[in-house]
Amino acid sequence: MYSYSAINGVLTCADPYILQTIVREHWNWTGSGQYMASDCDAIENADAYHHYTATGLQDVADTLIAALALQAAEEAIVLIKNDGVLPISLPADTNTNIAIIGGWANATTEMLGSYSGIAPYLHSPLYALQQLPHGNVLSSNEFGSPNTWYWNDALAACKAADFIIVADGISNSDKAEEHDRYTIAWPATTLEPINLAASLGIPIIVFQMGGGQLDDIVLLSNPNVSAVLWGWYLGMAGGDALVNIITGEVALAGRLPITQHPANYVNQVAISDMGLRPNATSGNPRRIYKWYDNALRPLQRLLAVKGGATSTATLQLTLDSLARHDEQGNTVLYPGDYGLLLDVPTQAVLNFTLTGSPVVLDQWAATTNLGSMERSATHASTLSWMSPD
Protein backbone atom coordinates (compact mmCIF):
# COMPACT_ATOMS: atom_id res chain seq x y z
CA MET A 1 0.00 0.00 0.00
CA TYR A 2 1.38 3.39 -0.92
CA SER A 3 0.73 6.39 1.30
CA TYR A 4 -0.51 9.96 1.04
CA SER A 5 2.96 11.44 1.27
CA ALA A 6 5.60 12.54 -1.18
CA ILE A 7 9.20 11.33 -0.95
CA ASN A 8 11.87 13.65 -2.27
CA GLY A 9 9.13 15.74 -3.82
CA VAL A 10 7.44 12.86 -5.67
CA LEU A 11 4.04 11.50 -4.60
CA THR A 12 4.37 7.82 -3.65
CA CYS A 13 1.25 6.74 -5.55
CA ALA A 14 2.69 8.35 -8.72
CA ASP A 15 6.39 7.61 -8.26
CA PRO A 16 7.83 5.48 -11.09
CA TYR A 17 10.91 4.68 -9.00
CA ILE A 18 8.81 3.04 -6.28
CA LEU A 19 6.01 1.56 -8.38
CA GLN A 20 7.94 0.51 -11.45
CA THR A 21 11.68 0.34 -10.71
CA ILE A 22 11.52 -1.15 -7.22
CA VAL A 23 8.23 -3.06 -7.05
CA ARG A 24 7.64 -4.32 -10.59
CA GLU A 25 11.20 -4.58 -11.92
CA HIS A 26 13.50 -5.07 -8.94
CA TRP A 27 11.12 -7.24 -6.89
CA ASN A 28 9.42 -8.71 -9.97
CA TRP A 29 6.01 -7.97 -8.47
CA THR A 30 4.19 -8.97 -11.63
CA GLY A 31 2.12 -12.04 -10.72
CA SER A 32 -1.66 -12.22 -10.94
CA GLY A 33 -1.99 -12.03 -7.17
CA GLN A 34 0.52 -9.21 -6.75
CA TYR A 35 -0.89 -5.71 -6.86
CA MET A 36 -0.55 -2.34 -5.19
CA ALA A 37 -3.30 -0.38 -3.50
CA SER A 38 -3.52 3.23 -2.39
CA ASP A 39 -4.34 4.31 1.12
CA CYS A 40 -7.82 5.80 1.51
CA ASP A 41 -8.24 8.89 -0.73
CA ALA A 42 -4.54 8.90 -1.70
CA ILE A 43 -5.42 9.10 -5.39
CA GLU A 44 -7.89 11.92 -4.77
CA ASN A 45 -5.27 13.73 -2.70
CA ALA A 46 -2.90 13.59 -5.65
CA ASP A 47 -5.13 16.10 -7.38
CA ALA A 48 -6.55 17.99 -4.39
CA TYR A 49 -3.39 18.51 -2.35
CA HIS A 50 -0.41 17.59 -4.51
CA HIS A 51 -1.90 19.23 -7.64
CA TYR A 52 -1.35 16.33 -10.02
CA THR A 53 -3.45 16.17 -13.20
CA ALA A 54 -6.35 13.71 -13.50
CA THR A 55 -5.78 10.96 -16.08
CA GLY A 56 -9.19 9.33 -16.54
CA LEU A 57 -8.97 6.56 -13.93
CA GLN A 58 -12.78 6.47 -13.83
CA ASP A 59 -12.73 4.68 -17.19
CA VAL A 60 -11.58 1.38 -15.66
CA ALA A 61 -13.93 -1.36 -16.89
CA ASP A 62 -16.74 -2.25 -14.48
CA THR A 63 -16.48 -5.93 -15.42
CA LEU A 64 -12.86 -6.07 -14.28
CA ILE A 65 -13.75 -4.40 -10.99
CA ALA A 66 -16.60 -6.86 -10.39
CA ALA A 67 -14.43 -9.89 -11.13
CA LEU A 68 -11.65 -8.67 -8.84
CA ALA A 69 -14.11 -7.87 -6.03
CA LEU A 70 -15.56 -11.37 -6.19
CA GLN A 71 -12.15 -13.06 -6.36
CA ALA A 72 -10.84 -11.03 -3.40
CA ALA A 73 -13.88 -11.91 -1.29
CA GLU A 74 -13.72 -15.62 -2.15
CA GLU A 75 -10.02 -15.85 -1.35
CA ALA A 76 -10.43 -14.01 1.97
CA ILE A 77 -12.98 -16.37 3.57
CA VAL A 78 -11.47 -18.65 6.22
CA LEU A 79 -12.92 -21.97 7.38
CA ILE A 80 -12.75 -22.19 11.17
CA LYS A 81 -14.83 -25.34 11.66
CA ASN A 82 -16.44 -28.00 9.44
CA ASP A 83 -17.96 -31.29 10.56
CA GLY A 84 -18.46 -32.40 6.96
CA VAL A 85 -21.57 -30.39 6.10
CA LEU A 86 -19.65 -28.22 3.64
CA PRO A 87 -19.95 -27.97 0.75
CA ILE A 88 -23.74 -28.26 0.81
CA SER A 89 -25.51 -30.01 -2.06
CA LEU A 90 -28.61 -28.54 -3.69
CA PRO A 91 -30.52 -31.20 -5.67
CA ALA A 92 -31.73 -30.05 -9.08
CA ASP A 93 -35.04 -31.90 -8.89
CA THR A 94 -36.33 -30.20 -5.72
CA ASN A 95 -36.06 -26.96 -3.80
CA THR A 96 -33.87 -26.84 -0.71
CA ASN A 97 -35.15 -24.72 2.17
CA ILE A 98 -32.39 -22.45 3.47
CA ALA A 99 -32.97 -20.22 6.49
CA ILE A 100 -30.70 -17.21 6.96
CA ILE A 101 -30.91 -15.18 10.14
CA GLY A 102 -28.67 -12.76 11.97
CA GLY A 103 -27.68 -9.11 11.94
CA TRP A 104 -25.53 -9.56 8.81
CA ALA A 105 -28.06 -11.62 6.83
CA ASN A 106 -29.06 -8.65 4.69
CA ALA A 107 -25.91 -6.57 5.25
CA THR A 108 -24.98 -4.20 2.46
CA THR A 109 -22.93 -1.15 3.46
CA GLU A 110 -21.65 -3.08 6.49
CA MET A 111 -19.82 -5.37 4.07
CA LEU A 112 -17.58 -2.48 3.02
CA GLY A 113 -16.04 -1.92 6.44
CA SER A 114 -14.21 1.40 6.70
CA TYR A 115 -12.10 3.35 4.21
CA SER A 116 -14.12 2.16 1.26
CA GLY A 117 -15.06 3.77 -2.01
CA ILE A 118 -18.46 3.96 -3.65
CA ALA A 119 -19.50 0.44 -4.66
CA PRO A 120 -21.48 0.00 -7.91
CA TYR A 121 -23.61 -2.64 -6.14
CA LEU A 122 -23.88 -4.41 -2.79
CA HIS A 123 -24.83 -8.09 -2.70
CA SER A 124 -25.78 -9.28 0.77
CA PRO A 125 -25.78 -12.96 1.83
CA LEU A 126 -29.58 -12.94 1.60
CA TYR A 127 -29.54 -11.55 -1.94
CA ALA A 128 -26.95 -14.09 -3.09
CA LEU A 129 -28.91 -17.02 -1.62
CA GLN A 130 -32.04 -15.81 -3.39
CA GLN A 131 -30.23 -16.17 -6.73
CA LEU A 132 -29.74 -19.94 -6.27
CA PRO A 133 -31.86 -21.81 -8.84
CA HIS A 134 -33.07 -24.52 -6.47
CA GLY A 135 -33.09 -22.70 -3.15
CA ASN A 136 -36.13 -21.56 -1.19
CA VAL A 137 -34.80 -18.87 1.14
CA LEU A 138 -36.41 -18.18 4.51
CA SER A 139 -35.21 -15.13 6.40
CA SER A 140 -35.90 -13.00 9.44
CA ASN A 141 -34.50 -9.69 10.64
CA GLU A 142 -35.50 -10.38 14.24
CA PHE A 143 -32.18 -11.18 15.88
CA GLY A 144 -29.88 -9.92 18.59
CA SER A 145 -32.55 -8.33 20.74
CA PRO A 146 -32.47 -8.91 24.51
CA ASN A 147 -36.24 -9.52 24.30
CA THR A 148 -36.52 -13.21 23.47
CA TRP A 149 -39.98 -12.93 21.94
CA TYR A 150 -38.29 -11.09 19.04
CA TRP A 151 -36.58 -14.38 18.13
CA ASN A 152 -39.83 -16.21 17.30
CA ASP A 153 -39.83 -15.36 13.58
CA ALA A 154 -36.18 -16.35 13.22
CA LEU A 155 -36.70 -19.69 14.95
CA ALA A 156 -39.83 -20.36 12.89
CA ALA A 157 -37.76 -19.91 9.71
CA CYS A 158 -35.11 -22.25 11.10
CA LYS A 159 -37.60 -25.00 11.92
CA ALA A 160 -38.79 -25.09 8.30
CA ALA A 161 -35.26 -25.26 6.84
CA ASP A 162 -32.98 -28.00 5.53
CA PHE A 163 -29.96 -25.80 6.32
CA ILE A 164 -29.60 -22.86 8.70
CA ILE A 165 -27.19 -20.00 8.11
CA VAL A 166 -26.48 -17.44 10.83
CA ALA A 167 -24.74 -14.32 9.51
CA ASP A 168 -23.59 -12.17 12.38
CA GLY A 169 -20.53 -10.65 14.00
CA ILE A 170 -19.21 -7.18 14.70
CA SER A 171 -19.23 -4.03 12.60
CA ASN A 172 -17.90 -0.50 12.70
CA SER A 173 -20.59 0.32 15.26
CA ASP A 174 -18.80 -2.09 17.64
CA LYS A 175 -15.24 -1.05 16.90
CA ALA A 176 -13.41 1.47 14.76
CA GLU A 177 -10.66 4.02 15.00
CA GLU A 178 -11.11 5.85 18.32
CA HIS A 179 -13.82 3.33 19.25
CA ASP A 180 -12.31 0.42 21.19
CA ARG A 181 -13.93 -2.74 22.49
CA TYR A 182 -13.47 -4.04 26.01
CA THR A 183 -14.33 -7.66 25.24
CA ILE A 184 -13.86 -10.10 22.38
CA ALA A 185 -16.68 -12.38 23.52
CA TRP A 186 -19.75 -12.97 21.38
CA PRO A 187 -22.74 -11.03 22.82
CA ALA A 188 -25.15 -13.23 24.76
CA THR A 189 -28.02 -11.87 22.65
CA THR A 190 -26.30 -13.44 19.63
CA LEU A 191 -25.14 -16.72 21.16
CA GLU A 192 -28.47 -17.60 22.76
CA PRO A 193 -30.51 -17.63 19.52
CA ILE A 194 -27.64 -19.46 17.77
CA ASN A 195 -27.75 -22.14 20.46
CA LEU A 196 -31.53 -22.38 20.17
CA ALA A 197 -31.32 -22.77 16.40
CA ALA A 198 -28.52 -25.34 16.76
CA SER A 199 -30.63 -27.39 19.17
CA LEU A 200 -33.16 -28.06 16.39
CA GLY A 201 -30.93 -30.78 14.95
CA ILE A 202 -30.71 -29.08 11.54
CA PRO A 203 -27.25 -28.43 10.01
CA ILE A 204 -26.23 -24.89 10.95
CA ILE A 205 -23.50 -22.78 9.39
CA VAL A 206 -22.25 -19.62 11.09
CA PHE A 207 -20.92 -16.75 8.98
CA GLN A 208 -18.73 -14.78 11.39
CA MET A 209 -18.54 -11.34 9.82
CA GLY A 210 -16.47 -8.24 10.57
CA GLY A 211 -12.76 -7.63 10.86
CA GLY A 212 -12.40 -7.88 14.62
CA GLN A 213 -11.62 -10.98 16.63
CA LEU A 214 -14.25 -12.94 18.55
CA ASP A 215 -13.94 -15.85 20.96
CA ASP A 216 -15.43 -18.77 18.98
CA ILE A 217 -14.98 -21.41 21.69
CA VAL A 218 -18.74 -21.72 22.24
CA LEU A 219 -19.28 -22.36 18.53
CA LEU A 220 -16.27 -24.65 18.15
CA SER A 221 -17.22 -26.80 21.14
CA ASN A 222 -20.94 -27.03 20.29
CA PRO A 223 -21.42 -30.32 18.39
CA ASN A 224 -24.67 -28.97 16.92
CA VAL A 225 -22.88 -26.12 15.12
CA SER A 226 -21.83 -27.73 11.85
CA ALA A 227 -19.49 -25.12 10.38
CA VAL A 228 -18.01 -21.69 11.08
CA LEU A 229 -16.69 -19.38 8.36
CA TRP A 230 -14.94 -16.10 9.06
CA GLY A 231 -15.97 -13.65 6.35
CA TRP A 232 -14.38 -10.36 7.47
CA TYR A 233 -15.53 -7.29 5.47
CA LEU A 234 -16.05 -8.88 2.07
CA GLY A 235 -17.02 -5.87 -0.01
CA MET A 236 -19.64 -5.43 -2.68
CA ALA A 237 -19.62 -9.09 -3.78
CA GLY A 238 -19.43 -10.53 -0.27
CA GLY A 239 -22.75 -12.35 -0.40
CA ASP A 240 -21.90 -13.93 -3.76
CA ALA A 241 -18.56 -15.13 -2.42
CA LEU A 242 -20.06 -16.73 0.68
CA VAL A 243 -22.63 -18.64 -1.38
CA ASN A 244 -19.96 -19.79 -3.85
CA ILE A 245 -17.91 -21.14 -0.96
CA ILE A 246 -20.64 -23.03 0.89
CA THR A 247 -21.98 -24.62 -2.32
CA GLY A 248 -18.51 -25.72 -3.44
CA GLU A 249 -18.62 -23.55 -6.55
CA VAL A 250 -15.24 -22.19 -5.49
CA ALA A 251 -12.59 -24.02 -3.47
CA LEU A 252 -11.84 -22.53 -0.09
CA ALA A 253 -8.49 -20.72 -0.13
CA GLY A 254 -8.44 -18.36 2.86
CA ARG A 255 -5.89 -18.69 5.67
CA LEU A 256 -6.27 -17.31 9.17
CA PRO A 257 -3.95 -14.26 9.30
CA ILE A 258 -4.20 -13.82 13.07
CA THR A 259 -4.25 -16.00 16.17
CA GLN A 260 -7.67 -16.34 17.79
CA HIS A 261 -7.43 -15.74 21.54
CA PRO A 262 -10.00 -16.70 24.19
CA ALA A 263 -12.10 -13.87 25.63
CA ASN A 264 -10.42 -14.01 29.05
CA TYR A 265 -7.06 -13.22 27.44
CA VAL A 266 -7.80 -9.50 27.70
CA ASN A 267 -7.79 -9.89 31.49
CA GLN A 268 -4.45 -11.70 31.54
CA VAL A 269 -2.25 -8.96 30.11
CA ALA A 270 -2.28 -5.18 30.46
CA ILE A 271 -3.04 -3.25 27.28
CA SER A 272 0.16 -1.27 27.89
CA ASP A 273 2.30 -4.45 27.96
CA MET A 274 3.63 -4.87 24.44
CA GLY A 275 5.85 -7.87 25.21
CA LEU A 276 5.50 -10.93 22.97
CA ARG A 277 7.31 -13.48 25.13
CA PRO A 278 6.06 -14.70 28.52
CA ASN A 279 7.00 -12.52 31.47
CA ALA A 280 6.68 -13.91 34.98
CA THR A 281 7.11 -10.47 36.56
CA SER A 282 4.31 -8.72 34.66
CA GLY A 283 2.19 -11.85 34.29
CA ASN A 284 2.14 -11.57 30.51
CA PRO A 285 1.14 -15.06 29.29
CA ARG A 286 2.79 -14.37 25.89
CA ARG A 287 1.36 -13.21 22.57
CA ILE A 288 0.86 -14.40 18.98
CA TYR A 289 1.21 -17.86 17.54
CA LYS A 290 4.96 -18.18 18.09
CA TRP A 291 4.64 -18.14 21.88
CA TYR A 292 0.99 -18.30 22.88
CA ASP A 293 -0.05 -21.96 23.09
CA ASN A 294 -3.66 -21.66 24.25
CA ALA A 295 -5.08 -20.22 21.05
CA LEU A 296 -8.53 -21.23 19.84
CA ARG A 297 -7.15 -21.23 16.30
CA PRO A 298 -3.55 -20.23 15.51
CA LEU A 299 -2.27 -18.21 12.58
CA GLN A 300 -2.62 -19.88 9.15
CA ARG A 301 -4.64 -22.84 10.34
CA LEU A 302 -5.64 -24.79 7.22
CA LEU A 303 -8.83 -26.86 7.27
CA ALA A 304 -10.12 -28.85 4.29
CA VAL A 305 -13.68 -28.16 3.15
CA LYS A 306 -14.63 -31.81 3.38
CA GLY A 307 -14.43 -33.17 6.90
CA GLY A 308 -11.59 -35.61 7.44
CA ALA A 309 -9.91 -34.84 4.11
CA THR A 310 -6.11 -34.85 3.89
CA SER A 311 -3.69 -33.42 1.38
CA THR A 312 0.04 -33.06 0.80
CA ALA A 313 1.67 -29.63 0.90
CA THR A 314 5.06 -28.86 -0.64
CA LEU A 315 7.21 -26.34 1.23
CA GLN A 316 9.63 -24.33 -0.87
CA LEU A 317 12.47 -23.16 1.36
CA THR A 318 14.37 -20.46 -0.50
CA LEU A 319 17.61 -18.74 0.43
CA ASP A 320 15.76 -15.45 0.24
CA SER A 321 13.43 -16.55 3.05
CA LEU A 322 16.45 -17.19 5.30
CA ALA A 323 18.15 -13.88 4.51
CA ARG A 324 18.04 -10.59 6.39
CA HIS A 325 18.48 -6.96 5.35
CA ASP A 326 21.46 -4.79 6.22
CA GLU A 327 21.42 -1.02 6.81
CA GLN A 328 21.71 -0.32 3.08
CA GLY A 329 18.64 -2.42 2.31
CA ASN A 330 20.63 -5.26 0.74
CA THR A 331 19.35 -8.80 1.21
CA VAL A 332 22.12 -10.76 2.94
CA LEU A 333 22.37 -14.48 3.73
CA TYR A 334 24.40 -14.99 6.90
CA PRO A 335 26.15 -18.12 8.19
CA GLY A 336 24.86 -19.67 11.39
CA ASP A 337 22.50 -22.22 12.90
CA TYR A 338 18.91 -22.26 11.60
CA GLY A 339 15.77 -24.09 12.66
CA LEU A 340 12.65 -24.64 10.56
CA LEU A 341 9.49 -25.22 12.63
CA LEU A 342 6.69 -26.85 10.68
CA ASP A 343 3.06 -25.95 11.40
CA VAL A 344 1.45 -24.32 14.45
CA PRO A 345 1.63 -25.88 16.96
CA THR A 346 4.98 -27.31 15.89
CA GLN A 347 4.72 -30.76 14.29
CA ALA A 348 8.33 -31.18 13.15
CA VAL A 349 11.67 -29.35 13.35
CA LEU A 350 14.49 -29.28 10.81
CA ASN A 351 17.81 -27.94 12.11
CA PHE A 352 20.65 -27.06 9.76
CA THR A 353 23.80 -24.93 9.61
CA LEU A 354 25.07 -22.53 6.96
CA THR A 355 28.85 -22.04 6.98
CA GLY A 356 31.10 -19.62 5.16
CA SER A 357 30.90 -15.88 4.60
CA PRO A 358 27.85 -13.62 4.31
CA VAL A 359 26.44 -13.38 0.78
CA VAL A 360 24.56 -10.45 -0.74
CA LEU A 361 21.63 -12.06 -2.56
CA ASP A 362 20.02 -8.83 -3.67
CA GLN A 363 21.52 -5.37 -3.84
CA TRP A 364 19.03 -2.59 -3.16
CA ALA A 365 18.19 -0.52 -6.21
CA ALA A 366 19.77 2.92 -6.15
CA THR A 367 17.88 6.04 -7.15
CA THR A 368 20.53 6.91 -9.74
CA ASN A 369 20.94 5.07 -13.06
CA LEU A 370 17.47 3.52 -12.69
CA GLY A 371 17.90 1.29 -15.72
CA SER A 372 20.70 -0.81 -14.22
CA MET A 373 18.92 -2.78 -11.51
CA GLU A 374 20.67 -6.12 -11.13
CA ARG A 375 20.11 -9.08 -8.86
CA SER A 376 23.43 -10.06 -7.33
CA ALA A 377 24.51 -13.52 -6.30
CA THR A 378 28.21 -12.77 -5.93
CA HIS A 379 30.32 -15.38 -4.13
CA ALA A 380 27.31 -17.71 -3.81
CA SER A 381 29.66 -20.67 -3.58
CA THR A 382 31.18 -19.43 -0.31
CA LEU A 383 28.21 -20.72 1.68
CA SER A 384 27.46 -24.39 2.17
CA TRP A 385 24.62 -26.38 3.74
CA MET A 386 25.29 -28.71 6.67
CA SER A 387 22.43 -30.83 8.01
CA PRO A 388 22.76 -32.73 11.29
CA ASP A 389 20.87 -35.57 9.62
- Catalytic residue IDs: 39
Among residues 339, 338, 335, 340, the alpha carbon closest in space to that of 383 is found at 335
Q: Rounded to an integer, what distance in angstroms lies between the CA atom of residue 165 and that of residue 248?
A: 16
Q: Rounded to an integer, what distance in angstroms lies between the CA atom of residue 269 and that of residue 285?
A: 7
DSSP class per residue in 168-225: EE--TTT-BTTB--S--BPPHHHHHHHHHHHTTSS-EEEEEEBSS--B-HHHHH-TT-
Among residues 207, 244, 239, 241, the alpha carbon closest in space to that of 124 is found at 239
Among residues 267, 302, 300, 299, the alpha carbon closest in space to that of 284 is found at 267
What lies within 8 Å, CB to CB, of 68 at 6+ separation is: none
